[in-house]
Amino acid sequence: MQVLKLLLLTVLLCILLHTASVSSSESEKDGGFCTAEKSTDSDTGSSSSCGCKASRSNLKSNEKEAMDASDEDVTIETEEKDADEGDIISKNDDAAFDPENFPRTNQMLFIKGGTFSMGTDEPVFPADGEMPSRKVTVDSFYMDEYEVSNAEFKRFVDETKYKTEAEKFGNSFVMDLYVSEETKSKITQMVAAAPWWLPVDGADWRHPEGPDSSLLDRMDHPVLHVSWNDATDYCTWAGKRLPTEAEFEYACRGGKEDRLFPWGNSLTPKGEHWMNIWQGEFPSSNTEEDGYGTTAPVS
Ligand SMILES: [Ca+2]
């Protein structure tokens, strides 16, 4: 049951992150990972930009740091590219990827509440259960501008010593196209309904494709292998909460009605890729025409 549960949560997170990537190209109200209620912070006499009742008293200062850091160049030590695989993994697990080297990505945007058409009468995949289209009203809220990066998640783990459910279970599901042959050779089980998701021992947020993978050059990519429980605990630490499905969809739509994407209905406006999805034959071949085979940087 734990394996099945993790599979479902992994798929759910991929969908959420994918949707967030869609919206991050152009929308000012793009999706994120955490959200917070609109508040005037009257208790503190201040008005933080996120408005949330932060459990971390330094949230406001952190956000200022984020704004200050946003103009700084991101520096990744390139010499690590020359290290051998084992060395890379050990460095990855240590302080070599100090999140202080990365700009904060916990900025929030205010999204004014309203009524919108949620779902669709013309679903691409009816099994997703997104039909019919119905009117839904949401209150104003704040939402993270970016998905939670590996660097941001590492701050949480470093501070709380948190263990994700994938780490506790000892495995998670990975797309077979991105699993090494050595790792594949150790897999003895598959899920008949989705054989491209392989249960990989040792796959977790630090090792997205299994024990022989690392976060090298991906600290600014969205964290993976995070369950709903993990995400909820992260948000609590950050003084926020997860968005509801309605809030998330409302934000991702960017104020548009009856549009497939925040910018309109064209998959590739001006012949350009404005979002990171799969190109090629799913699930056997990804041509990566949009520049990314898996995740893309969150900002
Ligand atoms: Ca892609």
Instruction: Name, in order, each residue with C-beta under 8 angstroms of 227's C-beta and a sequence gap of 6 or more.
Output: 5, 6, 9, 10, 13, 164, 165, 166
Q: If you measure from the C-alpha of residue 290 to the centroid of ligand 1, how many angstroms do you get, rounded to a whole number?
A: 5
Is the confidence at residue 75, as pLDDT, over 50?
A: no
The mean predicted confidence, pLDDT, of the chain is: 77
pLDDT of residue 104: 87
Give the range with max mean pLDDT: 15-19, 27-31, 88-92. 88-92
What pLDDT, in 10s, does the model give residues 98-139? 777 788 889 999 999 999 999 999 898 899 999 999 999 999
Check residues 52 and 141 and name the one with the higher pLDDT.
141
Burial 95-127 (b: 16+ CB within 10 A, else e): ebbebebbbbbbbbbebeeeebbbbeeeeeeee
What pLDDT, in 10s, does the model give residues 145-192? 999 999 999 999 999 999 999 999 999 999 999 999 999 999 999 899
Q: If you measure from the C-alpha of residue 288 to the centroid of ligand 1, how many angstroms do you get, rounded to a whole number?
A: 5
DSSP string, 49-69: SS----SSTTHHHHHHHHHHH
Question: Residue 105: phi, psi to the nearest 5?
Answer: -125, 30
Q: If you measure from the C-alpha of residue 276 to the centroid of ligand 1, how many angstroms do you get, rounded to a whole number?
A: 4
What pLDDT, in 10s, does the model give residues 32-44? 457 876 543 333 3
pLDDT of residue 103: 82
Is the confidence at residue 62, as pLDDT, over 60?
A: no
Q: If you measure from the C-alpha of residue 272 to the centroid of ligand 1, how many angstroms do you get, rounded to a whole number?
A: 13
pLDDT of residue 33: 57
Q: If you measure from the C-alpha of residue 275 to the centroid of ligand 1, how many angstroms do you get, rounded to a whole number?
A: 8
pLDDT of residue 134: 96
pLDDT of residue 64: 39
Q: If you measure from the C-alpha of residue 280 to the centroid of ligand 1, how many angstroms do you get, rounded to a whole number?
A: 10
Q: If you measure from the C-alpha of residue 168 to the centroid of ligand 1, how many angstroms do you get, rounded to a whole number?
A: 30
> How much of the chain exceeds pLDDT 70, in percent?
68
- What structural domains does the chain harbor? 3-19+87-286 (3.90.1580.10)
CA distance 147 to 166: 19
Task: Classify residue 74 by its DSSP letter.
Answer: P
Ranking 108-112, 215-219, 235-239 by mean pLDDT, the lowest is: 215-219
Angle, alpha carbons 273-24-76 (nearest 5°): 90
Is the confidence at residue 46, as pLDDT, over 90?
A: no
CA dihedral defined by 149, 151, 155, 158, rounded to 10 degrees? Answer: 120
Q: If you measure from the C-alpha of residue 291 to the centroid of ligand 1, how many angstroms do you get, rounded to a whole number?
A: 6
Q: If you measure from the C-alpha of residue 31 to the centroid of ligand 1, how many angstroms do you get, rounded to a whole number?
A: 18
pLDDT of residue 295: 97
pLDDT of residue 38: 58
